[in-house]
Structure 1
Amino acid sequence: MGAIKDRLRADLTAAMKARDEFAKSTIRMALGAIQYAEVAGDEARQLSETEEVAVLTKEQRSRAESAQTYADAGRPELAEKEAAEAEFLASYLPQPLSEDELVVIVDRQVALAEAELGAKPTMKQMGAIVRAVNEQVVGRADGKTVAGLVRQRLG
């Protein structure tokens, strides 16, 4: 069992003892998402910590997008609830990389691709570079941001 799932279960017990309904419901939602991912597919399996981070990242992003949608629709009470859930889930995710840290990783990967090819990488190699960077920054940077930085470096 992954460390995140263990931490969620321990925090669920603490939330139940403290009668914290918000934490209890949010943790149960997160555990449900992880358990759903575990049984999805041909046979049940334990998720790795990286896979757990991916599931929680997806749930956190979904809550943040829902909060924005509710805010745009004039439903501040629902937007506030979704934003609070997104913030709560973010506490279980690895610390996001700063822009500067991400630039260093992207530059290093572009340099590796350049050394491999013997020439400056082109947009044709962009997908491979983005994949390599995303493997290094799982859960710590948004894929869209990574792709934008790689595009900027190659363009």
Structure 2
Amino acid sequence: MIERVSEDIKAAMKAKDKGRLDALRLLKSAFIENNTSAKPKSDAEVAIAHVKKLKDSMESYPAGSEEVAKIKSEIEFLSAYVPQPLSKEDFETMVRTFIHDNPGADFGAVMKAISPEIKGRFDGREASQIVKTLVG
């Protein structure tokens, strides 16, 4: 993914798209930092964490401020690098399929199996509530 980001940085430089360029450079630095860490994560996890940090930082600024608009545009630029979110229906189908394929699976077994697949794509709290309902 870092190669894709590098190519997109070049394209943004040629297009003189400063907002996109800044957002991509920050993402690339997050990838580089991750790759040199003791326990590197997957590129998808790094991208998800970076976008999550941006979303969390929006709460620090007053609504409608220039900073919030800048962060929203950065999130929009980076959405192409983050796995697409799962719909509630898709998640429920995934859980039902797992339960069907593994009769007698309890809440812990379902969550353990499904959590890696939904990381960054579906809210964990909502996931646990749905699993409790379906396993119940």
TM-score, normalised relative to structure 1: 0.75
Equivalent residue number for residue 9 of structure 1: 6
SS at match of 1:40: coil
8 Å Cα contact 1:67/1:81 also seen in 2: no
| Structure 2 unpaired stretches of 5+ | none
CA distance in 2 between counterparts of 1:69 and 1:61 reads 14
| Structure 1 unpaired stretches of 5+ | none
1:140 pairs with 2:135 = no
Equivalent residue number for residue 77 of structure 2: 88
CA distance in 2 between counterparts of 1:126 and 1:151 reads 6
- Report Cα offsets for 1:83-114 as digits up to 9, x if no partner: 2212221121222222111110012223334x
CA distance in 2 between counterparts of 1:10 and 1:77 reads 28
Structure 1 segments of 4 or more deviating over 4 A? Answer: none
Number of aligned positions between the proteins:
136
SS at match of 2:70: helix
TM-score, normalised relative to structure 2: 0.84
Equivalent residue number for residue 35 of structure 1: 32
**Pair 5,68 (structure 1): closer, same or farther in 2 beyond 3 Å:** same
